[in-house]
A and B are shown apart, each in its own frame.
Chain A
Amino acid sequence: MRNKLAEILYNISKKDKKIAVISADISPAGKMAELSKKYPKRFINVGVAESSMISMCAGLAMQGYKPFAYTIASFSIFRPFEMVRIDVAYQNLPVVIIGMGAGTVYSTLGSTHVTIEDISIIRCLPNFQIMNPCDPLELEECLKYLCKKNNSPTYLRIGKSGEKNFTKNAVSKWHFNKPRKIINGKKICLIATGPIIKLYFEILEKLKEKNIFPSIYSFHTLKPINSIDIKKIFNKYEYIFSLEDISEINGLSSILKNAAFETKYRGILHGFSLKDQYIKNYGSQGDLLKSHGISANIIFKTIIKKSKK
């Protein structure tokens, strides 16, 4: 995803001189290196200085530029939080903060680099919108939208590398703030936010063998919340499962549970989220997720069990 990010920002930067990428010592992967060489004024590395990155972006946005703050998710908002809160959120400036390698992506680097709390924190900042695309193609849609139409502080949560595309033949087109149907099915709805959607696709064939034909949705915009579209999903499906590489507090499952309460949803709603616990173990991303009760197999078994009721 970071290569796609670099490619798209590079391509847009060629035409749009207002684009500014402010990074905090992140290696310029893919086209980002070319962007920094060809347009040094549009790619600025402030070094290991996250507060400088955020405040500088605020100043740039005040001058009419379109700044993207770019670093690893675990450093993009926690260290400079007061700058995110006041300089960007409160002043309602169109700064895009990119959290790269969010969630459990940096699975061998420990809890300093694992980002489970980012969405929980950003969601309660007024003015902020949050995007969490599920694959490189969706990221491209997000970036095009952000470069052309954005007027708000935005947290763009992305993975790192090797993500497959799942949305090439999606049933619905991407629209900002609209849950997007990727696969059309019946009775059961599988909603995911972010690249973790891949776990649904891993079990899709096995579910079909069991005569289960679920719809799959990408919930790429976590804020603002589109209550109308969520209600439509509730009206349409008897069983709804959510999946996220985010804390159970204030993430996708929280959004859906709140909406279920408000709409008096009578079906089965089950969420797969990271627990409210720091991760002390290492291994692959799959290993970390499994320790928090998330794997393709666990999801498969849960769907079978719950949908029999």
Chain B
Amino acid sequence: MTKITRSIIKKSDLRCHSHRKRILDLSQKVGALHIGGSFSSVEIVDTIYHLLMKKNDKFILSKGHTAVLQYVILVSKKIMSEKFLNSYCQKNSKLGVHPDYGTPGIEASTGALGHGLGIASGLAIREKKKNIFVVISDGELMEGTTWEYILTISSLNIFNINLFIDYNGLQSSTFSKNTHPTLTPINKKLKAFGWSVRSCNGHDVSDILKNYNKKEVNKPFALICNTTKGFPIPYMMNVPLWHYRSPNKSEHKEAINYLTKFYNKKNEK
């Protein structure tokens, strides 16, 4: 059972605020940042790393295109150096857009969607005392392999898998409900496959933890995290363009100003 106290949540909020600011600053160096999907996952990935993972547990970011977020969090965990992060996508750098094996803190090379959960099944099946955390996007639920893994994992009683679905409702080009109106309800589908399933507000650390704490035993666990792509920047939210684009100078300034106001307002409560 993970503790939820006001102090823990306050610290989480501050970290998440810093992660977003850091990503925005990095956006000024590269064009291919995938900022929208990174911002939708901030609270999810930060909570996994800082509040849920124990020594020897493993994490796979299956939605590999948002690795910049993972890097920023790895720096906050002191697993990756600030200097290395500053080399992100620069000439001769070893740090690129997608997670790559051999990079400090990265378990698997992802970026082709629909792989991470399968690799997680192999990490988990003979190491039952370790918890394996995986973050996928709702877009990955369109990949056939994702459902194959979901079926395989529950059928083989692999219970030490914790699947966090960043359900921001958008894929690269459009809303997922436009291309796959039958994707929902996700929870019923996962439950029918034998998973323990909860839903939460994916931008509310307290809600993520509350629902994580309610996972059932002897089942693989999936947490559907309802999020907003680009959150909380108004001009980015739910706009497909921000799947890939990096903000220009004035957009960067606007985003930083908004983020500061947003955090201060949240911190007042």
Spell out A's residues near B (CB within 8 Å): 20, 41, 44, 46-47, 49, 51-52, 54-63, 65, 67, 82-83, 86-87, 90-92
Contact = CB atoms under 8 A, between A and B. Distances in A.
10 contacts: A47-B152, A51-B118, A51-B149, A55-B117, A56-B125, A57-B122, A58-B108, A59-B125, A62-B108, A92-B101
Contacts, number: 84
A58 B101 CA distance: 12
Nearest to A59: B122
B107 interface: yes
A82 B112 CA distance: 8
B123 A83 contact: no
B151 interface: yes
A104 B107 CA distance: 39
B148 interface: yes
A55 B115 contact: yes
B156 A58 contact: no
Nearest to A55: B118
Given A55-B121, A58-B108, 14 more contacts: A41-B126, A47-B152, A51-B145, A55-B149, A59-B108, A59-B121, A60-B126, A62-B107, A65-B126, A82-B115, A83-B115, A83-B118, A86-B109, A86-B112
A53 B125 CA distance: 12
B124 interface: yes
Given A63-B127, A82-B112, A49 B122 contact: no
A58 B148 contact: no
B28 interface: no
A96 to B, nearest CB: 14
Given A55-B119, A82-B112, A86-B109, A49 B151 contact: yes
B126 A49 contact: no
Size range of the interface on B?
Answer: 20 to 34
A60 B156 CA distance: 15
B30 to A, nearest CB: 22
A62 B119 contact: yes
A52 B41 CA distance: 26
B37 to A, nearest CB: 20
B120 interface: yes
A87 B30 CA distance: 27
Given A46-B152, A46-B156, A91-B101, A55 B112 contact: no
In this complex, the member of B107, B122, B155 whose beta carbon has the largest number of chain A beta carbons within 10 angstroms is: B122
B101 A59 contact: no
B115 to A, nearest CB: 6
Given A44-B156, A55-B149, A86-B112, A62 B122 contact: yes
A51 B152 CA distance: 10
A59 B156 CA distance: 15
Contact of A56 (B107, B112, B118, B127): B118
B124 A59 contact: yes
Contacts of A65: 126
Given A52-B148, A87-B108, A58 B119 contact: yes
B126 A87 contact: no
Contact of B122 (A41, A67, A86): A67
B60 to A, nearest CB: 9
Nearest to A18: B126
B180 to A, nearest CB: 20
In this complex, the member of B115, B126, B127 whose beta carbon has the largest number of chain A beta carbons within 10 angstroms is: B126
B161 to A, nearest CB: 10
Contact of B115 (A60, A61, A67, A86): A86
A49 B121 CA distance: 13
B238 to A, nearest CB: 30
Contact of B123 (A44, A52, A62, A82): A62
Nearest to B124: A59
Given A63-B126, A63-B127, A83-B115, A52 B109 contact: no
Contact of B148 (A44, A49, A92): A49
Interface in B110-136: 112, 115, 117-127
A59 B151 CA distance: 17
Interface in B25-52: none
Contacts of B101: 90-92
A70 to B, nearest CB: 15
A55 B122 contact: yes
A56 B121 contact: yes
B19 to A, nearest CB: 26
Contacts of A54: 118
Contacts of A44: 125, 156
Contacts of B117: 55
Given A58-B108, A60-B126, A62-B107, A87 B152 contact: no
B122 A60 contact: yes
Contacts of B149: 51-52, 55
In this complex, the member of B121, B151, B156 whose beta carbon has the largest number of chain A beta carbons within 10 angstroms is: B121
Contacts of A55: 115, 117-119, 121-122, 145, 149
A114 to B, nearest CB: 25
B226 to A, nearest CB: 27
A57 B119 CA distance: 8
Given A49-B152, A52-B149, A59 B120 contact: yes
B21 to A, nearest CB: 32
Interface string B63-94: 00000000000000000000000000000000
